[in-house]
Structure 1
Amino acid sequence: MPPDRDGDEARPRRSQRLSAPRAMRSAAQQLEGLLGRAPESVSAVRPTDDGWEAEVEVLELERIPETTSVMASYRVKLDEDGELMAYERIRRYTRGQIDRRA
């Protein structure tokens, strides 16, 4: 196999797409490794042209009562092998907050 741009051997392509449950676990585990906080849930996962995108909910600041704890939603982008390529915090909110749609 020819070397890639960095001089490393190119990885063989997978013949099957990563499943949604495996993408969810991969997103949560890798984000935990970066943030040092365990995600509480994965609220969305969707396939993209080049992998997966997930939204992961993380407890950022624990408070008493629990409904006032600060949560954050992170958008996590994975490649087709489930490796984290990018992440960003997209929202912060209190645990007891309910989204209101117009």
Structure 2
Amino acid sequence: MMSASQAAERAVAHVTALTGRSAESVVGLERADDGGWRVRVEVVETHRIPDSADILAVYDTEVDADGDLVAYRRARRYPRGRVERD
């Protein structure tokens, strides 16, 4: 069975390969009912100068118990430093 850290690494690799963009961080992780993992990966979509003006995106991914990508989609885009309101 794949560990949480292994699932996160695989999700980052899949998103990087599919988008061609740099992953910034893993911002969410949970085990799926089927033994796989749901991983939220934050990506730098657009680099700007200064860096504080970068546009980031969060991708929701699902990897199965073997680390293969089952699904992914861009959930949202936002400027770096924007504070989320609950």
TM-score (norm 2): 0.93
Q: 2:16 aligned with 1:37, yes or no?
A: no
- Give the corresponding residue for 1:4: none
The structure, 1 or 2, with the larger RCO (C-alpha pairs under 8 Å, 6+ apart) is 2
Instruction: Quote how far apart the aligned CAs of 1:46 are.
Output: 0.5
- Where does structure 1 lack aligned partners over 5 or more consecutive residues? 1-16
Output the CA distance in 2 between the equivalents of 1:40 and 1:59: 6
Q: 2:75 aligned with 1:90, yes or no?
A: yes
Output the CA distance in 2 between the equivalents of 1:69 and 1:30: 22
Query: Equivalent residue of 1:81, what SS?
Result: coil
- Give the corresponding residue for 2:45: 60
Q: 2:27 aligned with 1:22, yes or no?
A: no
Amino acid at match of 2:65: E
Amino acid at match of 1:68: A
Deviations for 1:33-58, whole angstroms, at most 9, x for unmatched residues? 11111211011111001211000000
Structure whose CA Rg is larger = 1
How many residues in Structure 1 have an aligned counterpart in Structure 2?
85
TM-score (norm 1): 0.79
Output the CA distance in 2 between the equivalents of 1:52 and 1:59: 22
Query: Equivalent residue of 2:81, what SS?
Result: coil
Output the CA distance in 2 between the equivalents of 1:73 and 1:56: 5
Q: 2:54 aligned with 1:69, yes or no?
A: yes
4+ long deviations beyond 3 Å: none
- Give the corresponding residue for 1:3: none
Q: RMSD of the TM alignment (CA)?
A: 0.9
